[in-house]
Amino acid sequence: MNFWLLALLPLVNAWVVNYGTTCILYPEALVHNGQPVDDSPSIQQAFEMCGTNGTVIFSDNLFHVNTVLNTTNLLNCDVHLRGELRFSTNIPYWRTHAISVVLQDQVTAWLFGGENVNFYGEGGFYNGQGQAWYDANKNQSNQPGRPMSITFYNSTNLLVDRLRIIQPQLWATFVWDSKNVSVTNLFVNATSNSKWGTMNTDGYDSWKSDQLLVENATIINGDDCIAAKGNTTNLYVKNVYCEGGTGITIGSIGQYPETPDYNLNTTFENVKIVNSMDGAYVKTWQGTRIYTPSNGDWGGGGKGLVKNVTFRNFEMVNVGLPIQMSQCVYSDDSNKGCNTSKLQIEDVHWENIHGTSRFNIASSIYCSAERPCPNITFSNVNITGINTTHHLPYYDTDIQHEIFQCTNIIGVNNSGIPCNQAAPSNFSQWIYGNVDSSGLATLN
Ligand SMILES: *[C@@H]1O[C@H](CO)[C@@H](O)[C@H](O)[C@H]1NC(C)=O
Ligand SMILES: *[C@@H]1O[C@H](CO)[C@@H](O)[C@H](O)[C@H]1NC(C)=O
Ligand SMILES: *[C@@H]1O[C@H](CO)[C@@H](O)[C@H](O)[C@H]1NC(C)=O
Ligand SMILES: *[C@@H]1O[C@H](CO)[C@@H](O)[C@H](O)[C@H]1NC(C)=O
Ligand SMILES: *[C@@H]1O[C@H](CO)[C@@H](O)[C@H](O)[C@H]1NC(C)=O
Ligand SMILES: *[C@@H]1O[C@H](CO)[C@@H](O)[C@H](O)[C@H]1NC(C)=O
Ligand SMILES: *[C@@H]1O[C@H](CO)[C@@H](O)[C@H](O)[C@H]1NC(C)=O
Ligand SMILES: *[C@@H]1O[C@H](CO)[C@@H](O)[C@H](O)[C@H]1NC(C)=O
Ligand SMILES: *[C@@H]1O[C@H](CO)[C@@H](O)[C@H](O)[C@H]1NC(C)=O
Ligand SMILES: *[C@@H]1O[C@H](CO)[C@@H](O)[C@H](O)[C@H]1NC(C)=O
Ligand SMILES: *[C@@H]1O[C@H](CO)[C@@H](O)[C@H](O)[C@H]1NC(C)=O
Ligand SMILES: *[C@@H]1O[C@H](CO)[C@@H](O)[C@H](O)[C@H]1NC(C)=O
């Protein structure tokens, strides 16, 4: 049978081969002389046919995804990804059609979810073709309409195992409004081959979700490796390798006054962070609202509580700001507001953290004067500046030892933090140079 005859078959079921409750997907290109044809309609159809009490298999082929995918409300469904899902680089299309995820006015290319669902990456992978987005974005923050790769939404009892995402368009994975979601053996690689960076390519973020597991992840990217946004509770993260990017964080939270953020019971364990701007930290907005178009629109003034957070067994290699808390992460020098946040942070612990900092600073912990932080502790934290380990001096600074900054920590003398300087109110989440005796970081 030649492709011409196949093309005459009814469009319905075209490339979903259906055996009872199992749907196997084949790409349209196989019957279009290899020409790329949008496979999204077939994919939607497979989930409609087999998304309840069924199995959806992406065969080991190249699929072209040119239109948004909304495969939600699945029930008792197994998904096997054996081929490549190549998302198109039609930027004008995605910017006008990607699905809203509400948070920070962001959008997603694939909204996925349901109850009792298993998503297995079996040698297949998600190719976001993010280079087109990195180049179009030109190092801006949160370019409007730039979609997250895949969002796990309204899910209960979801397992995502061995998912591989290369060149994500924006955040690689996002868990939203879900409960009992496990992401295991995740691989993400966002690497730019141009002069533009991979801004906003977070590896894993969660929002308004409970009982979450991330176990075994390798994330190479240009933004947060893992970020627990507002109302993430009972998140357990273990065995993670983060390279590039901005480390492991709670936040940013406190952006929206109308919805307080409660981040309770979080453990991050056995993490290696290499060549990153940040390591293990907590970041909130300031207590006053400021116009910040790069983060959706207005931000700040949100209240809430961060309680019971442990960062345990971290190895840092060449990390800019290895340990931090900031309550004004998006304030700039002209609008600091670091003492205005009413978002309470307490019971945050760093245990067995070792490795090297890029500059002469290991930690900067700044709690808002409105809400000083109790029960912030270090135990067995040993971070040494790279230059110290090589017996080299630090440049442009009068301080040649490692700095641990503290401001507004309650009971600081029993905290185990070897504070040797006040934290200044003007650090965002990044520093670009050594700290001097004024507490400020030099620019280089
Ligand atoms: C799916 O399976 C559940 C539990 O076995 C059953 O209650 C339900 O009726 C099934 N739904 C369909 C559409 O077959
Ligand atoms: C996604 O599909 C569900 C049906 O499963 C529908 O209820 C919902 O409105 C769709 N969402 C969007 C944004 O299209
Ligand atoms: C969320 O999932 C539940 C089933 O678990 C379903 O009843 C509900 O309609 C879904 N909500 C939305 C907004 O899709
Ligand atoms: C990540 O992607 C870059 C660019 O494609 C590649 O050079 C690098 O080897 C990849 N890293 C891993 C660990 O696959
Ligand atoms: C864009 O940002 C990246 C780091 O995120 C940096 O390496 C690169 O030099 C910046 N590009 C330009 C052209 O400024
Ligand atoms: C995580 O990796 C370890 C070591 O390779 C392995 O023993 C463990 O089973 C993995 N966990 C999961 C959930 O796959
Ligand atoms: C978080 O949960 C609290 C309490 O249930 C609720 O009031 C608040 O609106 C939620 N915040 C978000 C961001 O949904
Ligand atoms: C936090 O963990 C404790 C101990 O497991 C538990 O009792 C409490 O309910 C958890 N808090 C939330 C918000 O789930
Ligand atoms: C803190 O959270 C961890 C889970 O991340 C939980 O095991 C522990 O019981 C919680 N502690 C308290 C005091 O709630
Ligand atoms: C400090 O926090 C830990 C858990 O995060 C908790 O078990 C302990 O009771 C807290 N200590 C005080 C004095 O509140
Ligand atoms: C801290 O780490 C440095 C460099 O790795 C090492 O020389 C030093 O002995 C360590 N200190 C402690 C108390 O472990
Ligand atoms: C570390 O030493 C090298 C070599 O002297 C120098 O180029 C570099 O600027 C120093 N790093 C810092 C953070 O001061």
pLDDT digits (tens, 9 = 90+) for 406-424: 999 999 999 999 999 999 8
Q: Answer whether residue 428 is part of any domain.
A: no
d(CA 39, CA 43): 6
Decide if 388 is inside a domain: yes
Mutation probe of ligand 3 site: the residue of 73, 115, 117, 181 with most atoms within 8 A of C-beta: 73
Q: With left for phi above 0 and alpha for psi between -120 and 50, is residue 24 left, alpha or beta? A: beta
**Closest ligand relative to 178 C-alpha:** 3
Residue range 286-290: average pLDDT? 92
Q: At a CB cut-off of 8 Å and minimum separation 6, what does 353 contact?
A: 279, 280, 311, 313, 314, 316, 322, 323, 378, 380, 381, 382, 383
Q: How many structural domains compose the chain?
A: 1
Is 375 near ligand 10, meaning CB less than 6 Å away? yes
Examine the pLDDT at 334 and tell me if it is beyond 80.
no
Determine the distance from the C-alpha atom of residue 283 to the mean position of all C-alpha atoms in its chain, rounded to a whole number: 14
Is 429 inside a domain boundary? no
- Site to probe by mutation for ligand 7, drawn from 209, 233, 250, 259 as the one with most ligand atoms within 8 Å of Cβ, is 259
On whether the CB atoms of residues 393 and 387 are closer than 8 A, the answer is yes
| Dihedral sign of CA atoms 439, 372, 249, 274 in order | positive
Q: Is 347 in the pocket of ligand 10 (CB under 6 A)?
A: yes
**Is 223 a residue of the active site?**
yes
pLDDT band at 9 (very low <50, low <70, confident <90, very high): very low
Which is the catalytic residue, given 39, 78, 210, 223? Answer: 223
| 247 domain residue, yes or no | yes
The yes-or-no verdict on residue 148 having pLDDT over 90 is: yes
435 domain-assigned: no
Q: Which amino acid is at 183?
A: V
- Ligand 11 within 6 A of CB of 382: yes
Residue closest by Cα to atom 10 of ligand 8: 265
Query: For all residues of the chain together, what is the average pLDDT?
Result: 94
Cβ–ligand 11 distance for 379 under 6 Å, the answer: no
Cα distances from 64 to residues 122, 124, 188, in angstroms, run 18, 13, 20
Write the pLDDT tens digit of every residue in 64-95: 999 999 999 999 999 999 999 999 999 999 99
The residue written with tokens 């009972």 in the block is 234
> Which atom of ligand 1 approaches the CA of 53 most closely?
1
Ligand nearest to the CA of 353: 11
The whole-model pTM stands at 0.96
Best residue for ligand 4 mutational test, from 189, 221, 225, 242 (most atoms within 8 Å of Cβ) = 189
On whether residue 386 sits in a domain, the answer given is yes
Asked if residue 444 is part of any domain, the answer here is: no
In a domain, 49, yes or no: yes
Q: Is the CB of 127 under 6 A from ligand 4?
A: no
- Taking residues 178-185, what's their average pLDDT? 99
Report, as an integer, the average pLDDT of 366-388. Answer: 97
Provide the CB-side half-sphere exposure for 66 (13 A, CA). 11
Q: Which of 300, 321, 182 is nearest to 246 (CA)?
A: 321
Residues 391-429: b if buried by 16+ CB within 10 A, e if exposed = eeebeebebeebbbbbbbbeebeebebebebebbbbbeb
* CATH number of the domain enclosing 264: 2.160.20.10
**Closest Cα to residue 215, out of 238, 193, 195, 197?**
238
pLDDT at res. 296: 79
- Please give the residue range of the domain that contains residue 266: 15-414
